[in-house]
Every structure is written in C-alpha cells, then in structure tokens.
Structure 1
C-alpha cells in the first residue's frame, strides 16, 4: 500500500485547549505522526512525500476569505499588545449573517468554532501539507490500489469557513471534491468517534457527494450540535447525508451492525470510491472514551469496508496518544487487505 506524509505537518504544535472551563494539554500533538507512521509501516505501507497541488483544490471547498484568514491571522494576532502565542477565540457571532469584522479578535471568533483549534506560527503550513497529503494519496489511489494519507492536523471538523475540534482544512472533503472533478462518484465514510460535522456542513446541500458518519451520540458528546439521525441534508442534498449516532460505550458487534447500514447506503448511492475518514479514537483505550472498539474490531471493520469491492482512500482523522494507537492503525490497514 502506498502512503503519504510530509514532515512539515509537525510544525503545528498546539499547547492547550479548553474543556469544561479548564486549560488542558492539547492531545493533537506532533508525536502522533511517528506513532501512526510506524503503525502503517508495520502493515506494509511505503511512505512517499506528497506533491504540491496548489491552492485550487483547497479553494474548491473552502472559501477564499477563510483561506486568507488561516494564512494571515497569526502575525496579525501577535501585533495585539499582550496577545497569547496562539490564536484562541473569546467571542463568537450568533449567526453567520452578522457583520464580518476587520479585527483579528473578531475574525478569530468568526472562523474558529471552539477553543480546540489554536492557531500558532506553524499551523498554516502544517494544515496546507496535510491537505496536499490527502490529495497525493487520492491521485495515487486513482492510478493503483488503496492509498493511505497520514494527515495531521486532521480535518473532518473543518467547515467551508470554520475551524474546530483540532481541524483547519477538511482533508477528506478536499480529496472527495478532487475525485469528483476527476469523474468519480465519491462517498465519504467517517468512522471517527466524533461526528464529522465539518464534512457534513460542506456537502449538506449537495447530491454529488454522499456523506455518512458513525459516531458517539452528540447529545452528550462533542460536537453536540451536529450529528443527529434526523440530519439528512437540505435542498438538493436531502437524503444524501446519513448519521448513525451510537450509544456511548458501543462495542464491536453493534458498531459493525451500524456499519452494515452505512455500507448499504453507499452501495445504493452508486459510489465507485469511498473516502474513509479514519478516526482511531473509537478505540476502547482512547483518551476521549466515546466508544469501545477493540483492536481486533478495527480489523473486522476494515474488512467489512473492503468487502464492498470499491476503491478506497484512507484519510487519517483522530486517534490520540495511547499505547495501542499505532497497533490499531496496523490492524485497520491489514483488515483492508
């Protein structure tokens, strides 16, 4: 299996995030890269550096206004007297039709959904090369077999103009749009423990990309405001979004039953490629403790996906530092084979 990784992704090193009103160490650390790389190599993956596709594929799904914000906000923020090293919002608009301010503080509130996506000096470059990694894996998959993109920072909480939940550029969405423009019919299957709210929002009014997410029920779990079963799409997109919220603590058997529903919908859509937004944080030992998938369960989940016979692009999303993180990736990639 070909795999892609750019070492510039390590330049994003967030120091904190806030949860329950408390400053906590940010779990989306650069150390994830080496652990995940070792896990992929143990499954036989051979890594290459991505090529640069430029800004076009990013701007195909993200607004130019948002991309400009990501590129410029940190130096602007640092000009504020007494500003912290990381851009973290402290005010948000109550609606997306509100005034778009010139202030760096105001724009941070507009473009950052929460306090879990701090922006530092190396964030833009890391996010940019994370997206290029997904695009390079998509290109490789077109020319051959399943490809794996080690994307970090992850992407599925990023909307067209909004960062959130450790995510800045929606790597899975960028890759799916690129594949669509190459003449394919993509479905995005998100198996992260958290709902892929940014991905859903990006395609919610569209019928040309199917979005499916299995995740811990958001009634009591991040991202809280998105991910309910009744969210089916709007306008032309009605019926092209499927959410399968699961009870906290759901294990392998019940998860695979829900996955069967997801895969049946993907077949009904007539997809010829699945972009798998792979979150390994559904594992029973992950720090977020949402679901209880075992390491062996990841192998079976991957085998179920592979049994569709469709072309597969695997884009790394969540999964945080714990002793079995790399092993879980090995188990999933071996299951695809």
Structure 2
C-alpha cells in the first residue's frame, strides 16, 4: 500500500487545550506523526510525498472567506497588543447568520468553534499540506490503486466549510471524497473515529452524491455534543444520505463490528464505487479520550471488514492520540485490510 506524508505537517504545534475548565497540553501533538509513520512502515507501506494540486480541491468545500481567514489570521493576531502566542477565540456568534466582524478577535470567534483548534505560526502551512496529502491519496485511487493511506495531520473531520474545531482546520476526508467525485467516481465516507465527524456531516448534509456514515460515541455526553445523533439523516436532496451510528461509551470489538456491518451495508446500498475511511484510532481502549474499548486485534478486524466491500479504499488519518500502541493500531488496520 502506498502512503503519503509531507514534512511540512510537523509545523503545526498547538500548545493550548482546555477540558472541563482546566488548561492542559494539547493531545494533538506533532509526536503523533512519529508513531503513525512507524505504524505505516510496519504495515509495509511505501512512503511518498504529495503533489501540490493548489487551492482548487480545498476551495471546492471551504469558503473563500474562511480560507482567507486561515491564511492571514496569525499575522493579524500578532499585531494585537499583548496578544497570546496562538489564535484562540473568546466569543462566538449566537447564530451563523449574524453579521461578520472586521476584527481579528471577532473573526476568530466566527471561524473557530472551540478552544481545541488554536492557530499558530505554522498551522496554515501544515493544514494545507495535510489536505494535499489527502488529495494525492485520492488521485492514487483514481489512477487504479486498490488502497492508499494518507497521513493527514492536523486531522480534518470536525472542520465545516467555514469553521474549524476539535483540532481540525481543513476537512481532509471530505476534500478527498470530493476529488474522487470530480474524477467521475461515487464516493462514500466511512468515519470510524470515536468522535462524530460533525464537519463532514455538515458539508455533505444536503447532498445526495456523497454518502456519509459515522460510528462514534453517543454525543449525548461526548464531544461534539450537538451533532451525531441517530435522527440526523440529511436534509433536502440529502435526506437519507447521512447515517449516524452512535454507540455507548466502552463499546468493545464485537459491538463495534456489529455496528460497522450496518454501516457497510448502507455503503453497498448507496452503490459506492470508492470509500474514504476517516480513520480515527481513538476508539482504542487505551486512548487518552477513553471513549471505546476497541483492542489492537479489533482494529485488524475493522480493516478486514472494510476490505470485504471489495472497493478501492483511501484511509485518511483522523484521531488517535499519544499512547504506546498508536502505531501498532494503525499497522493492525492496514494489515487487516491487506490480508483480507
């Protein structure tokens, strides 16, 4: 399997994270890259860098207003007297239809959903190349590869068309799916991260040309709280093209795989001819977020089940945070898929 990564993705190094009112180190550390690279190599992946497809594939899903913000906000923020080292919002609009402010502080509140997506000096560059990694992975599939792995970091599935959140800035999995659709394919996005892919859902919610399926911890008491419930099925032309499968905290291998069967059946019913897997490894029993109890062998079973679709698959890295087994869990997914 070919794997794609760019060294410029190291440049995003977030310092700020808040949980339950307490300041903590960000779980989305650059050190994740080392473990994921090791896991990909252990799975036998051949590493390569991405091409540069420019802004087109990114702007196909993200508004020019938002992209202008991401590219310029750090420089603008540093002009504020006594500003912090990172762009962190402290106010948010009550409604997305509220007026658009001119100030950097106001725009940060408009375009950043929470305090888990601080923007530093290297954030835009890293996010841009993270998206290009996903685009290159999509192009590999369009050129005939059976599977590819995109080590996209920072991750992307919490990013809406004009809103960052949950460590995410550009929706890498969505960008890849749209790239495949533009190449004449019929993509489904399967999100197996422990957190609901709310940004992905939001981008495609009223569309019928991309199916979105997400397995995740029930958001009634888990991030992102406001999205990911079972009754969210899509809207307009997209009604019936979004499937949420919220699961109880502590879900183990067998229960996760049973729900996965439901998701895979929906992908078959959609008539997909390519699948983008938003690959969160934070469903692991030892992940810092402690949402599910999937084991390392369980990830191999997940990979094998996805392979059972018989479709080309692009694995795009989402969550999965620092623990000793992070790389092993990636190896398990990819070898499970390859060996099926």
TM-score by length of 2: 0.99
RMSD (Å), alpha carbons: 0.5
Q: Which residue is 1:11 aligned to?
A: 11
List per-residue Cα deviations over 1:146-165 (Å, max 9, x = no partner). 00000000000000000000
Mapping of residues 33-48 of structure 1, within 5 Å: 33-48=33-48
User: Alpha-carbon deviation of 1:145?
Assistant: 2.0
Q: 1:134, CA displacement in angstroms?
A: 0.4
2:69 match:
69
CA-CA distance at 1:82 after TM superposition = 0.8
Deviations 1:91-122 (A, max 9, x none): 00010110100000000000000000000000
1:32-56 CA distance string (max 9 Å, x none): 1111000010000011010100000
CA–CA separation in structure 1 for the residues paired with 2:207 and 2:261? 24
Check whether the contact 2:74–2:121 (CA below 8 A) recurs between aligned residues: yes
Partner of 1:2: 2
Query: 1:195-214 residue pairs with structure 2 within 5 A?
Result: 195-214=196-215
Q: Which position in structure 2 is the counterpart of 1:182?
A: 183
Task: Identify the residue that residue 138 of structure 2 maps to in structure 1.
Answer: 138
CA distance in 1 between counterparts of 2:88 and 2:19 reads 13
CA distance in 1, matches of 2:190, 2:43: 21
Contact 2:142/2:183 (<8 A) preserved:
no
Aligned length: 337
Question: Could you tell me how far apart the structure 2 residues matched to 1:140 and 1:176 are?
Answer: 13
Which residue in the other structure is 1:306 paired with? 307
Q: Does 1:276 align with 2:277?
A: yes
Counterparts of 1:87 and 1:320, CA distance in 2: 22
Task: Return the alpha-carbon distance in structure 1 between the equivalents of residues 178 and 50 of structure 2.
Answer: 18
Partner-residue secondary structure (3-state), 1:282: coil
Deviations 1:164-212, CA, capped at 9 Å, x for gaps = 0000000000000010010000000000000000000000010000000
C-alpha deviations, 1:26-75, integer Å up to 9, x for none?
01011111110000100000110101000000000000000000000001
Query: Which 4+ stretches in 1 moved above 4 angstroms?
Result: none
- The separation in 1 between residues aligned to 2:16 and 2:285, in whole angstroms, is 24
Other-structure match for 2:238: 237
Q: Partner of 1:44: helix, strand, or coil?
A: coil
- Corresponding residue number in structure 2 for 1:215: 216
Gaps in structure 1 of 5+ consecutive residues? none
